[in-house]
Amino acid sequence: MPATPLHLGPGLFAAALLLAVADLPSLLIASIILDVEPGSNLVLRLSGLNPPFAYHGFLHSFLGATVAALILAPVLLWLAQKLRNRKFFGHFWAPTAGAVLLACLVGTNLHILVDSFVNTDMQPFWPYLQNPLLGLIPPLELYVACLALFILGAALLAFRLRGSRFLKPAFPK
């Protein structure tokens, strides 16, 4: 499985491409949040409990990721409302419901797509039990691609935000 931070590469690249219609923080959060599932399963196994499911369970399917996105979107909207009076990089975080929902759907499903190439215990098309994507991209190439997408995404995001009020300091001198 790609380490959780590697999911930020495809997430950042997608966020840079979808900047006008999807919420950047929501997409980045959604691209990594699903790894709470295998992380919690690992903790359960290390503590002596033996959960009756694989490390990557229902949330690591496209259906599960979509359900997770539908739960995550209202939570992030609520959080944005709580933080609406605070500036981040000189910008108030005030996304629309549609921008957050799109970001959550893209982020969670992109996570599943990336993991599907290397995780043997995943059923991305559940209830279909096979994983036809497994092995199509070798792990090393996938990790390099995730890092490359992070660099490209950061560059594209910087280019698209250049001159934007998003990059102006919150507290001008």
Q: Could you read off the pLDDT of 1-34 as tens digits, one per residue?
A: 456 788 999 999 999 999 889 999 999 999 999 9
Q: Which pLDDT does position 169 carry in this prediction?
A: 44
Joined together, the tokens standing for residue 48 give 């002596």
Q: At residue 84, what are phi and psi to the nearest 5 degrees?
A: -65, -20
Residue 123 has pLDDT above 80, yes or no: yes
Band (pLDDT 50/70/90 cuts) for residue 40 is: confident
pTM comes to 0.84
Mean pLDDT value across the chain: 85
Q: At residue 154, what are phi and psi to the nearest 5 degrees?
A: -65, -45
Q: Which pLDDT does position 94 carry in this prediction?
A: 75
Joined together, the tokens standing for residue 49 give 């409990």
Host H or E run for residue 89: none
